[in-house]
């Protein structure tokens, strides 16, 4: 509480899904001086806008969450946009933070930075042992460059930048858009919409064989804030819970929890993405005492309840 009381923090992407949870976690820990730059006022792809932001706010710390993100479909349709905007935001922001004398920079990366065929559980030391899964590679590599930059800046300039690797996130307030959502909100929407419209079946991409690890958004926010407070080292850190579930089992679970009893069709013409995803989370436990608290079943119930309660508003948005 004493640490955060005197900190002035810029949270990029602070109005987004994860960002709102991080801002709330900061406030819970006593941080009252939080600034969330909005894109309409501060385009982080524009170096002049970044310079203007830092001169106005003079923050002690930057937590960089802003990103252009989406599921497999969005990544396939926008590889250039996802690469360019994510790279330019992060690289320029870190450089200007260094020039401005910012005390700490927290770069939040992505599990998509890992090689396609990484031994499970993913260990941070395996991050460079291959090329990322092709559909996510432009996004994953753009975010991965922040690790290179953070380590280079620490070596040359003594700049305190850390790099975190969260798994797939989910929870209330997630993006449920069919064009850009990730797997859990997409499946919840499919099942509830099909049930409400009395549709006999839903179609899901791929084969159902891949596995994924999912982290509830409030757990992710707590991990990021703990790392911001306690971690000042060179090495990247996985953020997750260390448990995986197959997409097939996940679909069955969400169908049951939403009350959808129709048929599930698998579209094998669509990509599966990375074969398996599951993190080794020992470093986060050791370095800043992070352990996930919300199990998948509980998190899914909360997310389904939120989506059901906000269904009308989401349809009209």
Most distant CA pair in the chain, distance = 61
DSSP 172-236: TT----TTT--HHHHHHHHHHHHHHTT-SEEEEES-S--EE-EEEHHHHHHHHHHHHHH---SS-
DSSP 261-300: -SEEEEETTS---SS---B--HHHHHHH-----S-HHHHH
Q: What is the CA radius of gyration of the chain?
A: 19
Residue 200's Cβ-count burial label (10 Å; 0-12, 13-18, 19+) is exposed
User: Locate tokens 């989401």: which residue?
Assistant: 314
Q: Is 139 in the active site?
A: yes
Selected catalytic residue, list 42, 139, 153, 216: 139
- How many CB atoms within 10 Å of residue 91? 16
Task: Cite the active site residues.
Answer: 139
């Amino acid at each position: 509480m004493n640490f955060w009381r005197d900190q002035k923090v810029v949270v990029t992407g602070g109005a987004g899904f994860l960002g709102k949870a991080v801002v709330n976690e900061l406030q819970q820990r006593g941080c009252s001086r939080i600034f969330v730059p909005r894109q309409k006022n501060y385009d982080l792809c524009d170096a002049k806008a970044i310079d203007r932001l830092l001169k106005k706010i003079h923050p002690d710390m930057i937590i960089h969450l802003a990103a252009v993100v989406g599921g497999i479909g969005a990544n396939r349709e926008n590889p250039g946009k996802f690469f360019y905007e994510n790279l330019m935001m992060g690289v320029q922001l870190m450089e200007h933070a260094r020039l401005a004398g910012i005390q700490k920079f927290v770069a939040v990366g992505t599990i998509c930075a890992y090689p396609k065929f990484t031994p499970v559980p993913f260990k941070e030391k395996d991050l460079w042992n291959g090329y990322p899964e092709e559909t996510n590679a432009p996004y994953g590599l753009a975010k991965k460059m922040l690790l290179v930059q953070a380590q280079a800046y620490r070596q040359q300039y003594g700049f305190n930048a850390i790099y975190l690797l969260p798994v797939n996130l989910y929870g209330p307030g997630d993006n449920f858009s069919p064009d850009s959502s990730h797997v859990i909100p997409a499946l919840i929407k499919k099942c509830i919409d099909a049930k409400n419209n009395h549709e006999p079946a839903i179609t899901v991409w791929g084969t159902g064989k891949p596995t994924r690890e999912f982290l509830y958004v409030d757990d992710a926010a707590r991990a990021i804030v703990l790392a911001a407070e306690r971690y000042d080292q060179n090495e990247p850190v996985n953020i997750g819970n260390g448990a995986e579930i197959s997409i097939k089992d996940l679909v069955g679970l969400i169908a049951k929890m939403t009350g959808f009893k129709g048929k599930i069709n698998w579209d094998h013409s669509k990509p599966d993405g990375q074969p398996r995803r599951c993190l080794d989370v020992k470093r986060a436990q050791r370095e800043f005492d992070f352990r996930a608290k919300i199990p998948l079943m509980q998190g899914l119930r909360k997310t389904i309840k939120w989506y059901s309660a906000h269904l009308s508003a989401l349809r009209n948005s």
